[in-house]
Structure 1
Amino acid sequence: MTVGMYHNRPTVADLRARKARGEKLTMLFVETPDEARAAAAAGIDMLSIIAPFWTPAMRAAAGECFVQVGLLYGELCTGEDYLRAAHAAMQSGGDCVYCSASLDIQKLLCDNGIPVVAHVGLIPSQCTWTGGFKAVGKTADSAKAVWDHVKRLEQIGCFGAELEVVPDRVAELIARNTPLLMLGMGAGAHADAQYLFAEDVLGHGTNKQPRHAKRYRNFASEFARLQDERIAAFGEFIADVKTGAYPAPEHCVPISDSEFDAFRAALES
């Protein structure tokens, strides 16, 4: 039985209609129910949640957000692997799946009626072919290769594609000339959705913040303060145990004098 039927959250058809109307969408990569819950409360349109974090608790926390479930490239190998994982993701309340595998595997998912988001431009799992973690599409040939990739995704039936770290003018031309929902990450203002990682928005990532990210809060300093408070609290606990301040009478279970006397009498007998 499918978990979390649509209710009021958008469908693929809804998002396509919003693209056609020129509406800009917002999207976050989240890893915890708290992040998903906050995104839903704020009104974020789409969430990306990778398979290890995708749970019934995450579906519930995501509320009316459209959720893309990321299928893990490298952990899944065959078309059957991906197909089983994609069906499981959809049956547990996913709205589409992200797949960066080969075109034939992506087509297999599409042919089975699963909405598929692919990946073009800088594809982290395959970036050795394009020179590493750097922008793609800065030459005419490279931009044309991104365009051709998008057109192949159209032909096999994909619903959308992450468009990562390409020049804004290239992204604009592509987004305006494809029915695919282009989820822009470092692709300028003209992608159909602006996609960031929650850890970058909140400012607690451990990796170097990418150029396209914007930090709206500084959770790192708050987490550091909380860690200092944890250490201090644990130290106070140690001190209380050593001095006898803990446990105090209010932390202990009482027994009446009569019952305790009866208990001791029973032992003595």
Structure 2
Amino acid sequence: MGKQVRPTVYDLLAMKGKRQLSMLRVVSLEEAEAAEAAGIDLISVPPALLCNPRFRDAAPGRFAIPGGEYGQSGATTDEILRWAVKMRAASADAVYCAASLQTIRRLRDEHIPVCGHTGLIPSHATWTGGFRAVGKSAATAVLVYKQVKDLEAAGAFSAEIEVVPAEVATAISERTSMLMISMGAGGGCDAQYLFSEDVLGLNRGHYPRHAKVYRKLAAEYDRIQAERIAAFREYAADIESGAYPEERHRVPMDAEELKTFLTRL
């Protein structure tokens, strides 16, 4: 079986309205490799992971979008452009950008695919009342729609729509050419997006309403940590008692050679 060719922006937009795509936030090579093996369509990745030389070996067929760590809110358009060019050179298929429409247009002019953000935007949450749903009133729903159309006009090919009522998100998705990625915005968009830490049950704090836990790996990691501590304690105790190292851990030496060495000393 040959290596899977990852989709292009053109391919993704051609799927709009035909089937729901899957998207995960992954933060390690192991998670990227698992997403590849599982056939997840899109992955959001930390820039450092994308720049790892082993990343594309782990996830050759995944459409990868870096973002989240770069301080775009206070960065200039030129700074974001330089970052985006670096990400594209490192094999990013698109970049996430929650900066100004001017910046998105600048990236578009350089043919860099952009995924925008609307609804609850964590870095802009102070403007919408904090970390809570957006678009529950007609007025705020219209605001979300306007943001989407502005992103579309600026040249973004896609947008994450976060914690918006499902009916609102569905109606908006039907009225834009962009690929709409739902995070807690119902099943009427073009893709569903969750964080791997939620899917794997690694989140030790609050789970968002839209999260679904498929495995509880936190308990497994706790078990492994307990075993790690126990092994370290046994090792330290063996050193103290003289049980380690044993004869089999030592480098052997011929008795006559040792006698000659000690004589020379």
Q: What TM-score results when the alignment is normalised by the length of structure 1? A: 0.93
Aligned partners of 1:7, 1:36: CA distance in 2, in Å? 15
Aligned partners of 1:111, 1:243: CA distance in 2, in Å? 70
The amino acid of 2:201's aligned partner reads G
Tell me by how many angstroms 1:103 deviates.
0.9
The amino acid of 1:154's aligned partner reads E
The amino acid of 2:157's aligned partner reads F
The amino acid of 1:93's aligned partner reads S
Question: Per-residue displacement from partner, 1:70-109 (whole Å, max 9, x unpaired)?
Answer: 1613486111100110000001111000001111111111
Listed as ranges, the matches of 1:3-22 within 5 Å are 8-20=5-17, 22=18
Q: Percent identity?
A: 48
> What is residue 91 of structure 1 aligned with on the other side?
89
Listed as ranges, the matches of 1:91-170 within 5 Å are 91-170=89-168
**2:35 pairs with 1:51:** no
Tell me by how many angstroms 1:206 deviates.
3.1
Aligned partners of 2:73, 2:237: CA distance in 1, in Å? 48
Q: 1:75 to 1:137 in 2, by over 3 A?
A: closer
**2:35 pairs with 1:64:** no
Tell me by how many angstroms 1:54 deviates.
2.5
Aligned residues: 261
Structure 1 outlier segments of 4+, above 6 Å: none
Question: Per-residue displacement from partner, 1:155-201 (whole Å, max 9, x unpaired)?
Answer: 11101001100000111111111111111100101111100000000
Question: Per-residue displacement from partner, 1:212-241 (whole Å, max 9, x unpaired)?
Answer: 000000011111111111111111011101
Aligned partners of 2:82, 2:123: CA distance in 1, in Å? 21
53-62 or 126-135, larger mean C-alpha shift = 53-62
Report the 3-state secondary structure (helix = DSSP H, G, I; strand = E; otherwise coil) of the residue aligned with 2:54: helix
Native 8 Å contact 2:29 2:49 kept in 1 = no
Tell me by how many angstroms 1:265 deviates.
2.4
Aligned partners of 2:32, 2:24: CA distance in 1, in Å? 9
Native 8 Å contact 1:69 1:97 kept in 2 = yes
Native 8 Å contact 2:9 2:113 kept in 1 = yes
Native 8 Å contact 1:26 1:193 kept in 2 = yes
Aligned partners of 2:37, 2:188: CA distance in 1, in Å? 25
**2:23 pairs with 1:27:** yes
Q: Which runs of 5+ in 2 are unaligned?
A: none
Aligned partners of 2:235, 2:171: CA distance in 1, in Å? 62
211-220 or 7-16, larger mean C-alpha shift = 7-16
Q: 1:82 to 1:76 in 2, by over 3 A?
A: farther
Q: What TM-score results when the alignment is normalised by the length of structure 2? A: 0.95
Report the 3-state secondary structure (helix = DSSP H, G, I; strand = E; otherwise coil) of the residue aligned with 1:174: helix
Listed as ranges, the matches of 1:211-250 within 5 Å are 211-250=209-248
Aligned partners of 1:75, 1:246: CA distance in 2, in Å? 56
CA RMSD of aligned residues (A): 1.5
> What is residue 3 of structure 1 aligned with on the other side?
none
Tell me by how many angstroms 1:11 deviates.
0.5
Aligned partners of 2:88, 2:72: CA distance in 1, in Å? 20
Report the 3-state secondary structure (helix = DSSP H, G, I; strand = E; otherwise coil) of the residue aligned with 2:87: helix
Report the 3-state secondary structure (helix = DSSP H, G, I; strand = E; otherwise coil) of the residue aligned with 1:19: coil
